[in-house]
Amino acid sequence: MGCGRFDLANDLSDITDIAHIDLSSTDLLQGGISVFQHTPMATSINVKSTGITDDIVVLQHCPNMEEFVGVGTGITGDISVLANCKSLGVFSAHNCRGITGDIAVLANCKPLSVFAANQCRGITGDIAVLANCKSLLVFNAYDSRGITGDIAVLQHCPNIEEFRGSAGITGDIAVLADSKVAVGV
């Protein structure tokens, strides 16, 4: 006999000092991430593999966000909100098909080390923006069909270890011959 589903509280305004929120793999948990609008001190939100939904616009209320993981949830929204997250190091929302927007916003995320949005088919943009992401280790936009550009830009990403693009990526991978990049499309 199961315990049923649990709802995330509708109002977290009384715990504004919370910094790390890890609800991952709590598959019976449902609700909207908008409740985190009252947690401006949050540096990490992990709702991976939950029934959590809602728009990532809530991240505009979390200027100290360093890590957001929403893998396999029903979250939606435009990644342009990441422009407000100057400390963001990890954004992982693969298999969240309601995520949209232009990767140009990544130019503002200087400490970004992981951007994983594979199967987020509403994400678009030219990977030329990655030349500004000097801390980037992983870029995964596999099956995100609107991602385009020349793979040669990875020469400007000295730390990149993994790149998974989409069918819109062009160029000659020979430019990466002396790098440590694992490439897949």
Q: What is the pLDDT of residues 20-67, one digit of tens each?
A: 989 888 877 788 888 888 888 999 999 999 888 999 998 998 899 999
Structural domain span for residue 133: 6-184
- Identify the DSSP state of 9: P
Phi first, then psi: give them for residue 107, nearest 5 degrees: -60, -25
Position 29 in a domain: yes
Q: Is residue 1 part of a domain?
A: no
Identify the CATH number of the domain in which residue 152 sits.
3.80.10.10
Query: Nearest CA to 69 among 40, 48, 41?
Result: 48
Is 161 among the domain residues?
yes
pTM for this entry: 0.87
> Which of the four pLDDT bands, split at 50, 70 and 90, describes residue 9?
low
Asked, for residue 91, whether it belongs to a domain, the answer is yes
Q: Is 174 exposed, middle or buried (0-12, 13-18, 19+ CB in 10 A)?
A: exposed
At residue 113, the pLDDT reads: 96
Whether 179 shows a pLDDT value over 80: the answer reads: no
* pLDDT at residue 2 greater than cutoff 80: no
**Type of residue at 12:** L
Q: What is the pLDDT of residues 112-168, one digit of tens each?
A: 999 999 999 899 999 999 998 889 999 998 888 899 999 999 888 888 899 898 888
Q: For the purposes of burial, counting CB atoms within 10 Å of the CB of 164, is it exposed (0-12), middle (13-18) or buried (19 or more)?
A: buried
Neighbours of 31 (CB within 10 A): 19
Q: Is residue 103 part of a domain?
A: yes
| Token code pair at residue 175 | 């430019």
The single-letter DSSP state of residue 159 is T
Examine residue 99 and state whether it is found in any structural domain, yes or no. yes
User: 3-state DSSP call for residue 141?
Assistant: coil
* Residue 162 within a domain: yes
How many domains does the chain fold into?
Answer: 1
